[in-house]
Amino acid sequence: MKRLWTIMKKELYHIWRDPRTLALIVALPGVLLVLLGYGISGETLNTSLAVVDFSKTKASREFVDRFTASQDFDLRYVADNESELQELIERDHVDVGIIIPEDFGRKLNAQKPATVQVLVDGSMNPTDSLTVQLKLSAISQMASQDILVNWVKLSGSGFNLSLPIVDNVRTLYNPQGDQRLYMIPGLIPILLQVQALLLSALAIVREREQGTMEQLIVTPIKPWELMLGKIIPYLLVSIVNLFLLLGLGNLLFGVTVAGSFWELVGLSLIFIIGSLGMGVLISNISQSQMQAIYIAVFVVIIPAIILSGLMFTRENMPAITYWYSELLPVTQYLNITRGIIVRGASAQSLMWSSTFPLIILSVVYFVASVLVFKKRL
């Protein structure tokens, strides 16, 4: 028992004499709980909506108002035609589109059924997609019931009356609701992030712990050359893994790239460079490998899994949680992989929503890692 107590005191002393690690161990789990607890609502609220109203009548405006009267849908755009509406869905600007035909108001005034076309983005979580479709149908049926009651009052009879509004719902990109088509393009960014981040996060601090960093510093090599020499092998390994993951996704799960394969590879390269930069940055601000792993896991990896949109929608997150996830390159890259692989979107169509933010974040993290690296040398 005495020997056990001696070992315990020695380990407690190691923890206590390293206040930075102690602070990370105590503070980060609590901070992460608050961040993730507020970030995960489990509700499908404020689903982004776009409308094409060819009717432009009082009846069509009242029908659209039904969807925006609650927090279920948020009208973001009023498109001019169906092509513009589908482009908004492809660019991930909206999740749902409603097309109201030109004869909508005339048919309802004549007590005849009118058909409304509804487009749903099938690249979202199949569970969320089903929930959205149920809400769309419920709101449409409530509108139909109110109109039907008015028809009965006017005609004095309820015979030979059918529902006034028929909603024709069409799910784009993933009409069967295949969960694999949703998860595989989301898992690829997470797996690449974990590998690139952890490998590079240990690269510098390991040299420092082993006492070999001083030997590297005195060699006739510039700081940026030393850093690139450390991360380029990990870059090559990550690229090989990218091709491996895409190949396995196709071979085992039947997930093919609907868009440009080489655009996906190019943007993946940018994402990997940014992730390696984040890892080197963490490695430079850490005093030990334990600190580096702890920061990488609690500050980046766990939030990336929970807040990036892999499992939970980001639409309903509080502002602080939403913008924290925006600062993670994996959030932008996940939108890109799902856009290119599932929807067949191009890098240009995703430019302002995902491509440009990914480039900016990757450059910022990489440059910051170079600057901090020079400073610590």
CATH class of 47-172: alpha beta
Contacts of residue 256, defined as CB under 8 A and 6 or more positions apart, other chains included, come to: 250, 341
Helix, strand or coil, per DSSP, at residue 74:
strand
Check pLDDT > 80 for residue 105: yes
What is residue 359's predicted lDDT score, i.e. its pLDDT? Answer: 95
Please, which pLDDT band fits residue 21 given cuts at 50, 70 and 90?
low
| Domain map (residue ranges) of the chain | 47-172, 178-376
Q: DSSP secondary structure string, 137-184?
A: HHHHHHHHHHHHHHHHHHHS--TT---SEEEEEEEES-TT--HHHHHH
C-alpha to C-alpha distance for 223 and 228, rounded to whole angstroms: 9
The DSSP 8-state label assigned to residue 69 in this structure reads: S
C-alpha to C-alpha distance for 38 and 35, rounded to whole angstroms: 6
What is residue 154's predicted lDDT score, i.e. its pLDDT? Answer: 66
Residue 282, CA atoms < 13 Å, CB-side half-sphere: 27
C-alpha distance from residue 187 to each of 77, 285, 317, 335 (Å): 31, 28, 21, 12
Location of structure tokens 């927090």: 71
Please, which pLDDT band fits residue 183 given cuts at 50, 70 and 90?
confident
Select the more confidently predicted residue: 167 or 64: 64
What is residue 327's predicted lDDT score, i.e. its pLDDT? Answer: 92
pLDDT (tens digit per residue) in 47-73: 899 999 999 999 889 899 988 887 788
Residue 71, CA atoms < 13 Å, CB-side half-sphere: 5
Q: Are strands 96-100 and 47-53 parallel, antiparallel or unpaired?
A: parallel
Find the angle CA(143)-CA(149)-CA(152) to the nearest 5 degrees.
Answer: 140
Q: What is the pTM of this model?
A: 0.81
Please, which pLDDT band fits residue 199 given cuts at 50, 70 and 90?
confident
End-to-end CA, the chain: 45
Check pLDDT > 80 for residue 155: no
Tell me the mean pLDDT in the region 79-106: 90
